[in-house]
Structure 1
């Protein structure tokens, strides 16, 4: 298999897993995949009250500034995060996890983990994706 074929299979695996995770999280918890990942990043943030600069969150999620601004607005509307102005630098805007956000993440995490495991198992049964799944599993 050449690099382009291997890359194509990796992209197909990624798309399949992402699609399944997104559908299940939305159906069971009312969270999009980006929202779940934002909550996860915020829960791991070392800033005050699990906060991150919005720009740092954008970089962590690989989203542009406008996409992460819309994402943060959705999280705020749902009561899952809230914004705060940086005391040292009034230009810096932070977003932080709320207790509701933490509970939502805690509720959704087992679903995420189970869905990821199941989706990988299904993908491994596909002869075209079997090698890509095995390569992924060998990473950790």
Structure 2
């Protein structure tokens, strides 16, 4: 049902354009995530979750390929248990190392290993090419900038929201 109700705005339905945009956004995200995950696994043996962790640990925000566990979780927006299991799996495969934080006995650092650096270096070119093919090819650069502006605004509102 897409009928708008003004009697109780908190329970108002999305209008037709909002519903189409929202459902489209959810569908695009789900299909892209699934396709990128399948492709990474088939071509590199990495999952999209593996790749996401490695991206964060090779980003400029990660000094020397290292982040505190809680920082990595915040950057990925993952629950502690999910992150802990993911890091453990990647550690067993030699892609990451975990070390205790000297300043905080409860804290830990996650470090990318040489094998992790090699894995993302090998995976990135083909992954980026697939992202371009599936998401950006055939899209006008003006629309790409509009989408970037739109996502920046939404992320800004999320950052300043009091909701969990």
Indicate the TM-score class for this superposition, using the shorter chain for normalisation. 0.7 to 0.9
Alignment partner, residue 28 of structure 2: 13
Q: Which runs of 4+ in 1 moved over 4 A?
A: none
Describe the superposition over 1:33-53 as per-residue Cα deviations: whole angstroms up to 9, x where unpaired: 011010010112433x31111
CA contact (8 A) 1:80 1:100 kept: yes
Say which of 97, 104, 116 aligns to 2:112.
97
Larger relative contact order (CA 8 Å, sep ≥ 6): 1
Q: Root-mean-square deviation (CA), in Å?
A: 2.1
Larger Rg over CA atoms: 2
> Unaligned regions of 5+ residues in structure 2, if any?
1-15, 150-164
Say which of 122, 127, 149 aligns to 1:107.
122
Alignment partner, residue 42 of structure 1: 57
Q: Distance in 1 between matches of 2:77 and 2:42?
A: 24
TM-score, length-normalised on structure 1? 0.83
> Unaligned regions of 5+ residues in structure 1, if any?
125-129
TM-score, length-normalised on structure 2? 0.72
Describe the superposition over 1:63-121 as per-residue Cα deviations: whole angstroms up to 9, x where unpaired: 10000001001110110000011112222111100000000000000121011112226
CA contact (8 A) 2:98 2:110 kept: yes
Q: Distance in 2 between matches of 1:109 and 1:71?
A: 19
